[in-house]
Amino acid sequence: MKIIADNTVPYLKGILEPIADVRYLNSNEFTPTNIQEADALIVRSIDKCTRELLEGSRVRLITTATIGYDHIDTHYCDEAGITWKNAPGCNAASVGQYVLSSLLSVALRKGEALRGKTIGIVGVGHVGSIVERLCEAMGMRVLRNDPPRAEKEGQEGFVPLDTIAREADIITLHVPLTKEGRFATYHLADDAFFDKLARKPWLINSCRGAVHDTRALLQAKREGKISELIIDCWENEPHIDPDLFALATIATPHIAGFSADGKANGTRMCLEQIERFFDIKIEKIKEVIPPTPANPQIDLNAFGEERIEKAILRSFNPEEIDSRLRATPDRFEWFRAHYDHPREFHAYQIIHATPQEQSILSELGFNLSAINAR
């Protein structure tokens, strides 16, 4: 079996070699000539699996270590009999961590609390559901918008976009990028949506860049319809709009889902798809695990006030990658390829937490030590 893999898919090298001829390529090396004899591809979102790439090849399976799959020409694959598989939910907890950490970073900067604020979650799938749980643990009121789910499950528990525009202090986007159908999300956040905003909310896009209309978003920010802007996903990446970049409160290079845990999950899911498709056993799949954090214990007594907030930011602080990107925004893809993947909440153990803090931190997903206040 011949497998071509993106050479930045983490924790992969050495896993497949006992059973396959594996070749690792840079994204710009995914050419028709290089992949022609491959039986399977393991890709990331930067690897464009188009008709031009695939036509005439013997590729039978494409696995992507990402939730999104808009980099795969699924229509052509279906026509050509090429099976394609994504990794739904693989980095959902990572994006949830990014959203909560970013909100706390902005809130602490402004001297405000998240508790009591209303957050509107647009798209309540794998990621949105985790964001909902985290925000409720922090005492926030949650409004949920998900028309496909509401149609299938009933309207109870869901609200229209107009309600979010009217009532939300914070709006976070967690939808796939789709351009067709009744629930298309391309430029979902457009002039009409921004014109309805009533509370000058904070806006977060950590799903796909083209879910917002950059021109309309710029105008809304300049006119004060949006007070704070957290952008991880940009239209036309890696060529991000310099004006939007300058106006963003937090600007990151599409790394919200880049936790070490999410990366390991995505790689493992690709391998599991290969196992099922080719009816083989990959013995070394159990070795796909992220490294232990350098400092896995968080002592709340090391902090003064906002102990929970600072514990969360100790696991991941978006201001670090924000600062690096602002220094050299032309290195957008370099930062993605050389990112120091953080661990998620569950990789950290909390000590010296009060009973009330333990309840919140446990709900967030942290491990609790026996060394806690009683």
Catalytic residue IDs = 208, 237, 254
Which string of DSSP letters, residue by residue, matches 347-372?
Answer: G-EEES--HHHHHHHHHHT-EE-S--
The DSSP bridge partners found for residue 72 are: 49
Residue type (1 letter), 85: K
Could you tell me which of 273, 239, 265, 208 has the C-alpha nearest to residue 90?
Answer: 265
Could you tell me which of 267, 322, 273 has the C-alpha nearest to residue 289?
Answer: 267
R_g over Cα of the chain: 21
Contacts of 299 by beta carbon, 8 Å cutoff, 6+ apart: 351, 352
CB 80 within 8 A of CB 55: yes
- Which of the 8 DSSP states describes residue 196? T
CA 141 – CA 194 distance, rounded (Å): 21
Residue type (1 letter), 346: H
CB 196 within 8 A of CB 168: no
Helices (H) and strands (E) in the chain, counts: 15, 14
CB 66 within 8 A of CB 41: no
Q: In what order do the strands lie in the sheet with 228-231?
A: 141-145, 118-122, 170-173, 202-205, 228-231, 250-251
